[in-house]
Chains A and B, each alone.
Chain A
Amino acid sequence: MTVLNTNTEHTGTTAAARPAPAPRRRKPLASRAYKVFRVVALIAVVLFLIAPLFWMLLASFKTNVDIYDTAKSFVFTPTGENYANVLQRNNYFVFIFNSFWVAFVSTALSLVLGVPAAYAMSRFTMHRSALVVLMARVIPGVSLLVPWYYVFSNLKMVGGFEVLILSHMFVALPLIVYIMMSYFDSLPLELEESAQVDGLTPIGAFRRITLPLSVSGIATAGILSFIFSWNNFMFALVLSGSKTKTLPVAIFDFVSYASIDWGGLMAAATVVTIPIMIIALFTQKYIVSGLTAGATKG
């Protein structure tokens, strides 16, 4: 609100101080220097962010001999051996499937629970109720893991997909509620109201008007929750079994018994990151709007 007020004040003074549009002047030299600086700075930023990933990718195509040879940093004969090794001998296809399945199901279920909840919380401004769900973001996961582990191992569920999906839903749900609440906040109420005037029940209006209009918001929430679930490490480290191991846990294990096989390790790390990066590249717009949801409301 303050922001808005300041704006109007300033507009007022500008209008008074500037009776006619300022004549176009030649650009000062500083702006050219700034342009050069900006290009250099941006290239530096991009290099800083990309170079490590590129290095990982390069190493994944090297033999271990080449990795240890610093003369062959960039020039070497690429080999697909690491990938063959990781994917075939270490069964990474199984882990890829596990990660995908857990992330997919936990995202879908969290959407079913989270979207209506976010809608109610946004429409009826249930801020305290929303806080209950958002608490899940704040609590350190370790404090929940011991009791979970106890209960779920008594129920003989540890090592099954159900418990992994439940724990990942715990990550996804607060995220979805947070994103969808700010999405519903920005959706005009009038559309629903007029639908109700035309004879739809409130729930009917939600189902037939609001939900179809929220497809892009739901996509945003879904994609982000999928990514976070795919990347989650701690819950899967404790709760997954040998048959349900997800990719992050699988690469972590890889290190403990084969810490010297750098090529294989980098191939494994690449295998984890590539799918999620491809998804991210195609859904850029959604990811950005999800990560910045609610950030600019002040």
Chain B
Amino acid sequence: MSVLNTSRGDTARDTALGAGRTARTPGPRKDFSAWANRHRKWLFAAPAMIFVGVLIVFPLAWTLYLSLTDSQGSVRAASEFVGLENYLTVLSDVERFWPAVGRTLSFTGVALACEVVLGMGIALLLWRPFRGEKWVRVAILLPLVATPVAVGMMWRLIFDPNIGFVNQLLGMIGIPPQPWLSGQDTALGTTIFMDIWQWTPMVVLILLAGLTSLSEEPDEAARMDGANAFQRFFFITLPLMMPTVIVAILLRGIDALKTFDILYATKGKGGGSFHEVETLNVYAYGLSFDYNQYGLSSAVLILFFMIIIGTMWLLTMRKKAVSK
């Protein structure tokens, strides 16, 4: 009863107001306004959801369908339904697919580990106010906003075996030139280094925000009890920071798994002539747009997507466990 009453009261008030403010507007507009207000939840949310939904659901369904066909050459060309054959081909492919999985995971794992450890260190350095803070902030922001493709080009020059700055620097202390990006064994590590340069600042910002929102008391209590800086960090600050650390890992991890720009910009098609930096994303892109193997690439993409969802799910579980 009361619910009914209130809502009727509201409508009455809306109508009265509507009539007062827009005296010359005829009825339908008032009706629309009342209708819009009642359904504002979906009226507001639906357009964005429909936009993203149409751009996601339909293509994903298509990718799933393509992964079950032998589509190649052109998506328009006739293709036959081949069941799980593509998946079998991909899963038994030890030359391109499994190495790509390995590279994707090691790229993400190593980059993330370095970024979180370095990021935590830098965030701790910045935690308490100091002179020149502004300049450090600027320095932290620059790699973050720099265009990844341009960054890739920049590192190509710096890591060039003959004229690169890194080898010049090493030459000064008597270390012979290294192939860096062009070497089969060193290329992946070098791209990981680039990722660390560009994205550690992001981890720093997130962790710093977490640190600043921590309360001082636990730390001070431990100080009173005679804990030294290391003990205070490992037993007080770090446990309290765990939820933030996991958020940082989640946000960065999604992007690291999908890294494309820097790899493609520095090594080009197929992740270099020996596929030395070919991650799943680069592999799938190559299959689709350099070789037009749509059936196969779709199978790779579905598997890749499952890897991402799996990783995310694990991390979210971990986060829930930590924050409880």
Contact = CB atoms under 8 A, between A and B. Distances in A.
Interface of A: 1-3, 6-7, 10-11, 13-14, 17-18, 22, 30, 34, 38, 41-42, 45-46, 48-50, 52-53, 55-56, 59, 67-68, 70, 73, 113-114, 116-117, 119-121, 123-124, 126, 129, 132-133, 135-150, 166, 169-170, 173-174, 177, 199, 201-203, 206, 227, 230-231, 233-234, 238, 247-249, 251-252, 255-256, 262, 265-266, 268-270, 272-273, 276-277, 279-281, 284, 287-288, 291-292, 294-296, 298
A140 B308 contact: yes
Given A124-B41, A147-B63, A45 B139 contact: yes
Given A146-B298, A199-B13, A272-B147, A113 B288 contact: no
12 contacts: A41-B125, A52-B158, A56-B153, A126-B45, A132-B53, A143-B302, A173-B52, A202-B40, A203-B40, A248-B150, A268-B150, A287-B144
Interface residues of B, number: 111
Contacts, number: 309
Nearest to B216: A7
B218 interface: yes
Contacts of A298: 243-244, 323
Contact of A56 (B154, B205, B288): B154
B157 A138 contact: no
B153 A255 contact: yes
A135 to B, nearest CB: 6
A6 B221 CA distance: 12
Given A10-B218, A14-B217, A146-B298, A276 B145 contact: yes
A42 B140 CA distance: 11
B82 interface: no
A251 B261 CA distance: 12
Contact of B215 (A7, A231, A272): A7
B278 to A, nearest CB: 13
Contact of A45 (B122, B153, B213, B217): B122
A284 B138 contact: yes
Nearest to B201: A49
Interface string B297-317: 110011011001100100000
Interface stretch (B85-93, B108-116, B178-186, B246-254): B246-254
Given A2-B323, A2-B324, A291-B144, A272 B244 contact: no
Contacts of B208: 292
A35 B66 CA distance: 60
Contacts of B163: 67-68, 70, 262
Given A135-B56, A202-B37, A277 B125 contact: no
B227 interface: no
Nearest to B137: A284
A146 B63 contact: yes
A53 B154 contact: yes
B141 A42 contact: no
Interface in B13-72: 13-14, 17, 33, 36-37, 40-49, 51-53, 55-56, 58-60, 62-63, 66
Given A41-B125, A252-B149, A140 B301 contact: yes
B240 A280 contact: no
Contacts of A269: 147, 149-151, 153-154
A277 B37 contact: no
Nearest to A68: B163
B45 A117 contact: yes
Contact of B52 (A13, A133, A148, A255): A133
Contacts of A227: 145
B139 A147 contact: no
Nearest to B135: A46
B290 to A, nearest CB: 11
Given A18-B224, A143-B305, A201-B33, A173 B48 contact: yes
B284 to A, nearest CB: 5
A133 B40 CA distance: 18
A203 B36 CA distance: 8
